[in-house]
Amino acid sequence: MLLTISTTRAPATDLGFLLHKHPDKVQRFEQASGVAHVFYPEADETRCTAALLLEVDPVKLVRTRGKSSPDFALGQYVNDRPYAASSLLASAMAGVFRTAMRGRCDARPELPAVPLPLEIKLPALPCRGGPERAERYFAPLGWRVEAVPAPLDESFPSWGDSRYVSLTLTGELRLADALNQLYVLLPVLDESKHYWIAPDEVDKLIRAGEGWLAAHPDRSGITRRYLANRRPLVRAALGRLADSDDAPEDALDRTSLDEEPAPDETAAPAPDETAASPQEEIAAPVQEGIAAPAQEETAAPVQEETAAPVREADAKPSLAEQRVEAVLAALHEQDASTVLDLGCGTGKLLARLKRDRAFTKVTGADVSYRAIEMVRRRGIPDDPDDPRRPARVTVFQSALTYADRRFEGYDAAVLMEVVEHVDPPRLAAVEGVVFGAARPASVVVTTPNAEYNVRYEGLADGAMRHPDHRFEWTRAEFASWAGRVAAAHGYGVRYVPVGDLDPEVGAPTQMAVFTKEGAR
């Protein structure tokens, strides 16, 4: 499996200093899974590329697996692990680029803080969820994402795409941030790999996610997948992330989180206590006063992390995807052509609205400046200064609790997974702003169904789906609220279940579609 990191910031060979690997040398590092090689296919003043090539030995993996790991017979020897980037590559990165991931460079101490124009390529990456999931995880971090799916068989196009993509990331970030993001997201994208899930994995996740994970719109889903849905570890990690200084200042910008614990994901069993735990990353001594383009470090072998696999998700769309589809269907049923996405987060719904040409004007608003900037970096809004055509998609920062003239004049407004993030005493202000002042012809509101929570194995009794939720309504409570709001402001309302409908507890998401009386 191969990872390449390129930069064009002159002198580009500074990349050697940051990685602590000399561009003129090919270096070899023994790993529990095989052998890692670091070399530079190109290295000059204008462009420098570092490559990490991991040669995986499947037989070696079998010999080092824990006693509690399941026996897959021939599958232990014949699999994609020698070729496709996964947790094995993340483990190799932790050993080979350990000092770079910590943002340390004694020879050039100013370099780690400098954002670099980076291009990262992973020719073969297992990505369950396809290019959309890669976009969903990397784009909010400031990357421009190109994920090209690999066909199952080029000779038979009708068979469709495989679960592998060729991923290219381009952006301007600190190298340490880029490496830590890959370290976390590689095993997250490939959910079936075997890695040891021990309590210290929470510390590793928090350390590698410092500065970006707490503010990520999918931090809940990333955390669950990284920790293989081990419920106590997931709760501990989410609690620590919620307390992080990087968490958004206001709960209203949490609307694009994939907050539902996946009921079809089986939590990994506890590891065999007799099996060896991963070796802790040991910092190699750094030689003083070296003026060469890189300092060399000898990486300690990293114990391959093994655990029971996480079962693959079903082929059906995720609840988050079903929710977006339900909102779009409701907007079409209401014949809305201009739409205001209130609490747009990092643009999950906006991106879909932009692709649908039935909507002639699309606007996103969010209280979080960070979220709005992420939407802009993803390229979702149109350029307002482009003289060739008027901007069809725009965004702006605003709070839902204060009347804003920019909210007025739309056919429909959407509050997708927003109201549950509002403190109950402030909910009346939101009602007045949306239904009283803005008064669109239609309003679509989605929120979790608290009754369905008993179907999630990852939730304790009485717990809510996410630490940022201020409340979660039962179906009766939601109907009571929606009915009162509709009657007070001259709207009719109908209710639509979203997701798998359980005969006892209903659907996981509940949706209300408000229609202003006389509007249709």
Per the omega criterion (within 30 degrees of 0), is the bond before 11 cis?
Answer: yes
Predicted TM-score (pTM) of the model is 0.50
Q: What is the DSSP string of 341-398?
A: EET-TTSHHHHHHHH-TT-SEEEEEES-HHHHHHHHHTT-S--TT-TTS--SEEEEE-
How many C-alpha atoms does 236 have within 13 Å on its Cβ side?
14
Residue 15: strand, helix, or coil: helix
Residue linked to tokens 């991923």 = 167
The whole-number pLDDT of residue 238 equals: 79
Does the structure show a pLDDT above 90 at 217?
no
In angstroms, rounded to a whole number, what is the distance separating the alpha carbons of residues 452 and 387?
Answer: 50
The whole-number pLDDT of residue 166 equals: 93
The whole-number pLDDT of residue 130 equals: 86
Longest dimension (CA), the chain: 78
CA angle 226, 231, 235 (to 5 degrees): 85
How many C-alpha atoms does 214 have within 13 Å on its Cβ side?
18
Q: Which helix (H) or strand (E) holds 64?
A: helix 58-64
Q: What is the mean pLDDT of the chain?
A: 81
Residue linked to tokens 């114990």 = 303
Task: Please answer whether residues 49 and 9 qualify as being in contact, where contact means their C-beta atoms are separated by less than 8 angstroms.
Answer: no
pLDDT, one tens digit per residue, over 130-181 is: 899 899 999 999 999 999 998 888 888 888 888 889 999 999 999 999 999 9
Structure token digits, residue 376:
């802009």
Query: Average pLDDT for residues 328-347, to the nearest whole number?
Result: 95
The whole-number pLDDT of residue 257 equals: 33
Q: Residues of the chain with pLDDT > 90: what percent? A: 51
pLDDT, one tens digit per residue, over 279-327 is: 333 233 232 222 333 434 433 333 333 333 333 444 578 888 999 999 9
Task: Please answer whether residues 382 and 392 qualify as being in contact, where contact means their C-beta atoms are separated by less than 8 angstroms.
Answer: yes
Task: Please answer whether residues 48 and 16 qualify as being in contact, where contact means their C-beta atoms are separated by less than 8 angstroms.
Answer: yes
pLDDT, one tens digit per residue, over 174-193 is: 999 999 999 999 989 876 55
Q: What is the DSSP string of 263-288?
A: TTSPPPPPPPTTSPPPPPP-PPP--T
Q: Say which amino acid occupies 269.
A: P
Task: Please give the C-alpha separations between residue 22 and each of 99, 108, 176, 322, in angstroms, as whole numbers.
Answer: 14, 14, 18, 49
Band of residue 458 on the pLDDT scale cut at 50, 70, 90? low
Does the structure show a pLDDT above 90 at 243?
no
